[in-house]
Chains A and B, each alone.
Chain A
Amino acid sequence: MTTKKMWIVGLATTVMIAMLLLAGTPSSAANHQPSEASADVKIDNFSFGPQTLTVSVGTTVVWTNRDDIPHTVVSTEGVFKSKVRDTDEMFSYTFTKAGTYPYFCSVHPKMTGKVVVQ
C-alpha cells in the first residue's frame, strides 16, 4: 500500500468515526423533532422588523441586513452574537429553549429587538 492510499484510508476512517459521534449527540436528535421551522427578521432603516418575533422552540431565526450600513445582532444576555453583517448578509440562530431573548445592534445600540420562544 502506498503512503497516499494509507492516508486516504486513514481519512475515511476518521470521517466515519466523526459521523458516528455526531449521530449520537443531542443536537442531532433535535433535528428529528417535527419543527425545523424558520422565521425571518429584516433589518431596514436601522430597525429590526418585526421588532418582537414570537416563535416555537426549535425555530431558526434568520436576520438579513438590507441597509447600506453594516449591523450586528447581539443578544443582550450573551446568548448569541453575530459577526458584523454588511448589506444583504445574514445571521441565523436556532432557539432550543423557551424564553425571551432581547437583542440589539452593537454598532447602533438604539436598534433593539426581541425573540419570544414558546
Chain B
Amino acid sequence: MTTKKHNLIDQNLQDLNNDGVDRRGFLKCMAWAGTGLVWTMSGGIPASRAFAKVYGRHAGKVGDFSFVQISDSHIGFNKPANPDVTATLQTAINKINAMPHKPDFIIHTGDLSQLSKPSEFDTLDQALKGAAAKQIYFVPGEHDMLTDNGEEYLQRYGKGTKGSGWYSFDHKGVHFVGLVNVANLKAGGMGSLGHEQLEWLEGDLKGRSASTPIVLFAHIPLWTIYPDWGWGTDDSEQALSYVKRFGSVTVLNGHIHQIMQKIEGKVSFHTAMSTAFPQPAPGTAPSAGPMKVPADQLQRVLGITDVNYLVSGSSLAIVDSPLGDSGSSASGSGRGLAVVDSLFG
C-alpha cells in the first residue's frame, strides 16, 4: 500500500473521530463488518471504518442527492449459476424502490443483455419500467455489442451519444461521463477507449473548474485489476490523466461481478456487483466464467450500489448492498462520494 493511501486512511480515521459516531452508528458498523465477506475481498481498504464516518453523517440526513448503480444484468443468461436473471434484476429494482431516500437516477454500467438480442433488451426495459427512478443512464458492456457493431444497443440506449455510445451530463453540480471501453477490441488486449473517445474526453473536461466533482462510469474497470482475465482498460491511463487536476473523481465500473476498490490520490475506483451471477476473485478459478454458488447463497453475492453526494463535505458516499437484507458495506474516499454496495441477501 502506498504512503498516499495510508495518509488518506489516516485522514478518514481522524474525520471519523471528529464525527463522533454514536453507539448506534458503531453497532451498525459492526453489523456491516459481520457481513463483510464481500468487503474483505475488496481491495484492502479498511472501508468499514470509513463507512462509519459516512454513515454517521447519514444517520439523520441523506445526501444532497443520490443515485444508484446497477450492473451486469445479463438478461437472457439461463445457466445454472442463475437460471432466472430477470427475477434477480426485479429484486434489485424492488430494493431500489424501497430505499428510504429516493435516488435521482440510475446508472447501468453495462451487460444489460447476454446476447444483444432485441427480446433481451425488451425484457430489461420492461423490468426497469418498474423502477421509481425514471431516468436511467446506460453504457454498453461487451455483451450488448455482439451484433452489428452494437446497432441494436445504440438505437435503443444511445440516442444523443457520440461514437460507440459515450456522452456526458451534469447533475446538481456534478459532472458525469459515460465511457465505452468494449468496442473495437484488439487481439490480445483488454478494454479499450480508443483515440477518438479520448480526444472527445479531453475536450469535454477542458475548461471545467477543478472543484467540479467528476464521476466517470464505464463497463470494464478503468484500472488494471487482473490483466490475465482482461480486467482492465489498455488506454485508461490516458483518460485518467485528464481528470488528475480535479479535486474529487469517482470511477464506477462493472464487468467483474464483485466489489473491488482502490483510492489513488483524489481518484476513487469502485466496481459493482452484478444483478445476475457472481464471478470468481482474480486468479481463484480457471477462468472468469460465472461462479456457481448454492441457490440460497446467490442473493448474498448479487447487489446494487448506492452513491450519495454531499455538498457539505464535498464528498460522495458509496454503499454496496446485497439483494437480501442482511447487510451492506460501504466506503468513502474521505472526499467525494460515498458508495454503498447492497447485497441482495
Task: Write the residues of chain A forming the contact surface with B, with a CB cutoff of 8 angstroms.
Answer: 45-47, 67-70, 72, 76, 83-84, 86-87, 102-104, 106-110, 112
Known: A45-B289, A69-B289. A109 touches B146 (CB 8 A): no
| Structural contact, A68 and B188, CB atoms closer than 8 A | no
Residues of chain A within 8 A (CB-CB) of B142 are 107-108
CA distance A70 to B147 in the complex (A): 12
Residues of chain A within 8 A (CB-CB) of B146 are 70, 72, 84, 107
7 contacts between A and B (CB under 8 A): A45-B287, A68-B79, A84-B116, A84-B147, A104-B188, A108-B142, A109-B185
CA distance A69 to B285 in the complex (A): 15
Closest 8 CB pairs of A and B: A45-B287, A104-B187, A110-B230, A46-B287, A109-B185, A84-B146, A45-B286, A68-B79
Residues of chain B within 8 A (CB-CB) of A83 are 147
Of all chain B residues, the one with the shortest Cβ separation from A68 is B79
| Structural contact, B185 and A46, CB atoms closer than 8 A | no
| Structural contact, A109 and B290, CB atoms closer than 8 A | no
Please give the distance in Å from B119's CB to the nearest CB on chain A. 14
Task: Write the residues of chain B forming the contact surface with A, with a CB cutoff of 8 angstroms.
Answer: 77, 79, 81, 114-116, 142-143, 146-147, 185-190, 227-230, 286-290
Known: A46-B229, A84-B115, A109-B188. 17 other contacts (CB 8 A): A45-B286, A45-B287, A68-B79, A68-B81, A68-B289, A68-B290, A72-B146, A84-B116, A87-B79, A104-B188, A106-B185, A107-B143, A109-B189, A110-B188, A110-B229, A110-B230, A112-B188
| Structural contact, B143 and A46, CB atoms closer than 8 A | no
Residues of chain A within 8 A (CB-CB) of B147 are 83-84
Of all chain A residues, the one with the shortest Cβ separation from B230 is A110
| Structural contact, A109 and B187, CB atoms closer than 8 A | yes
| Structural contact, B289 and A110, CB atoms closer than 8 A | no
Contact of A108 among B81, B115, B116, B230 (CB under 8 A): B230
Of all chain A residues, the one with the shortest Cβ separation from B79 is A68
Residues of chain B within 8 A (CB-CB) of A47 are 287
Please give the distance in Å from B248's CB to the nearest CB on chain A. 33
Residues of chain B within 8 A (CB-CB) of A68 are 77, 79, 81, 289-290
Residues of chain A within 8 A (CB-CB) of B190 are 109-110
| Structural contact, B115 and A110, CB atoms closer than 8 A | no
CA distance A67 to B285 in the complex (A): 14
Please give the distance in Å from B85's CB to the nearest CB on chain A. 12
CA distance A62 to B288 in the complex (A): 24
Known: A70-B114, A76-B187, A84-B146. A109 touches B230 (CB 8 A): yes
Residues of chain A within 8 A (CB-CB) of B115 are 70, 84, 86
CA distance A108 to B111 in the complex (A): 13
CA distance A86 to B190 in the complex (A): 21
Residues of chain A within 8 A (CB-CB) of B81 are 68
CA distance A68 to B289 in the complex (A): 7
Of all chain B residues, the one with the shortest Cβ separation from A71 is B146
**Residue from the set A76, A104, A108, A110 with the largest chain B CB neighbour count within 10 Å:** A110
Please give the distance in Å from A84's CB to the nearest CB on chain B. 4
| Structural contact, B187 and A102, CB atoms closer than 8 A | yes
CA distance A102 to B188 in the complex (A): 11
**Residue from the set A69, A70, A107 with the largest chain B CB neighbour count within 10 Å:** A69
CA distance A54 to B76 in the complex (A): 36
CA distance A108 to B189 in the complex (A): 8
| Structural contact, B289 and A67, CB atoms closer than 8 A | yes
Please give the distance in Å from A100's CB to the nearest CB on chain B. 14
Of all chain B residues, the one with the shortest Cβ separation from A107 is B142
**Residue from the set A68, A70, A76 with the largest chain B CB neighbour count within 10 Å:** A68
Please give the distance in Å from B116's CB to the nearest CB on chain A. 8
CA distance A84 to B230 in the complex (A): 19
Of all chain B residues, the one with the shortest Cβ separation from A103 is B187
Of all chain A residues, the one with the shortest Cβ separation from B288 is A46
Please give the distance in Å from B107's CB to the nearest CB on chain A. 23
